[in-house]
């Protein structure tokens, strides 16, 4: 019964990554799932020479995973990774290049077999109030919550067509990614959590935009509908850091599907351990 790790939203924190690397070396999991928001936020990156790695993907992140692979061979874990909405898409080329060197499997928008299961990856989230739009899509239609900036506005580090920005949706993307494939044994690595669950609860209580109260649930309706309709084995999420603190829950179920959220709003590394045989028995430790 092989153990797997799941982490998300490390935001370039080298201390958290060091804790993850130590745990991998110590426990030697079969798989490591990294659920997006990998890199230091663009607006908070220190200038070079102050201890920050300018080439974070190649110089720190890929180097760390490749070093682990070398030292743990032949028992190195399979690493599955997606970006998140805080990760500029201009870094995608570096993530893909590192994948060619076996640092990890870059999973957006891809699928791959793993120990008798299929892993699917998908990075986009519904519109947010933030300005970086590289990994944002409309959810099920062109509707947005009050206070959000549309995918047609904001800024991008990689340009897309007007049609893509205006008409692409998470709902359409998930249908294209999966098609008619059976997914009852599938694992989905998704940055956004499903809507109106304990995993997408944001700290928006009592807040208004133009006298309109804000919805405290900020997850994806499309992802929730997809899970309820298709019932994969397991879905892995991040994005909403404070949800576990506000609800006391980082794990829920939608029908038969187990849903986990590894995002955390404290300084610790939130490390979720699970097995594919019994994902409902997952445990969470703050390191």
- Give residue-wise pLDDT tens across range 147-191: 999 999 999 999 999 999 999 999 999 999 999 999 999 999 999
Averaged pLDDT of the chain: 95
Which tokens hold the place of 6?
A: 């799941």
CATH number at residue 230: 3.60.21.10
CA distances from 261 to 25, 84, 86, 252, 270 (A): 23, 14, 17, 9, 9
Q: How confident is the model at residue 1 (pLDDT cuts 50, 70, 90)?
A: low
**CA distance linking residue 258 with residue 237, whole number of Å:** 11
What secondary structure, in 3-state letters, does 240-270 show?
CCCHHHHHCCCEEEECCEEEEECCCCCCCCE
Q: What is the pTM of this model?
A: 0.95
Instruction: Please determine, for residue 39, whether its predicted confidence score (pLDDT) is greater than 60.
Output: yes
Residue 94 φ/ψ region, left for φ over 0, alpha for ψ in the -120 to 50 degree band, beta for the rest: alpha
pLDDT in tens, 270-281: 999 999 999 999
Upper half-sphere CA count for residue 67 (Cβ side, 13 Å): 11
**CA distance linking residue 198 with residue 245, whole number of Å:** 10
**Do the Cβ atoms of 132 and 42 come closer than 8 Å?**
yes
> From start to end of 99-159, where are the E strands?
105-106, 111-114, 117-122
Longest Cα–Cα distance in the chain: 59
Its domain, for residue 25, covers: 3-286
Residue 39's H or E segment, with its range, is: none
**CA distance linking residue 201 with residue 246, whole number of Å:** 7
Q: How confident is the model at residue 44 (pLDDT cuts 50, 70, 90)?
A: very low
- Per-residue DSSP letter, 58: I
Counted domains in the chain = 1
Instruction: Please determine, for residue 43, whether its predicted confidence score (pLDDT) is greater than 80.
Output: no
Upper half-sphere CA count for residue 281 (Cβ side, 13 Å): 7
Could you count the other beta carbons within 10 Å of the beta carbon of residue 215? 16
Which tokens hold the place of 180?
A: 């008619």
Q: How confident is the model at residue 134 (pLDDT cuts 50, 70, 90)?
A: very high
**Do the Cβ atoms of 27 and 75 come closer than 8 Å?**
no
Nearest to 200 by CA among 141, 147, 259: 259
């Amino acid at each position: 019964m092989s153990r797997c790790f799941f982490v998300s939203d490390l935001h370039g924190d080298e201390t958290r990554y060091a804790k993850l690397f130590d745990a991998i070396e110590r426990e030697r999991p079969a798989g490591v799932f990294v659920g997006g928001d990998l890199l230091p936020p663009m607006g908070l990156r220190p200038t070079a020479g102050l201890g920050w790695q300018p080439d974070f993907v190649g110089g720190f992140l890929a180097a760390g995973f490749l070093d682990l692979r070398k030292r743990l061979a032949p028992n190195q874990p399979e690493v599955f990774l997606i970006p998140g909405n805080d990760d500029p898409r201009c870094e995608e080329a570096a993530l893909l290049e590192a994948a060619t060197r076996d640092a990890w499997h870059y999973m957006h928008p891809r699928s791959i077999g793993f120990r008798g299961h299929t892993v699917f990856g998908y990075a986009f989230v519904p519109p947010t109030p933030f300005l970086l739009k590289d990994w944002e899509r409309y959810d099920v239609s062109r509707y947005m919550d009050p206070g959000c900036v549309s995918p047609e506005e904001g800024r991008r580090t990689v340009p897309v067509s007007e049609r893509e920005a205006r008409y692409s949706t998470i709902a359409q993307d998930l249908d294209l990614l999966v098609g008619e494939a059976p997914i009852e044994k599938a694992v989905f690595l998704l940055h956004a959590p499903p809507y109106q669950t304990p995993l997408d609860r944001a700290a928006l209580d009592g807040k208004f935009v133009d006298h309109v109260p804000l919805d405290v649930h900020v997850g994806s309706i499309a992802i929730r509908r997809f899970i309820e309709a298709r019932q994969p084995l397991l879905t892995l999420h991040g994005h909403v850091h404070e949800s576990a603190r506000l609800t006391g829950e980082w794990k829920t179920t939608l029908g038969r599907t187990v849903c986990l959220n590894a995002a955390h709003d404290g300084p610790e590394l939130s490390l979720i351990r699970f097995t594919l045989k019994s994902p409902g028995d997952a445990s969470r430790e703050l390191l």
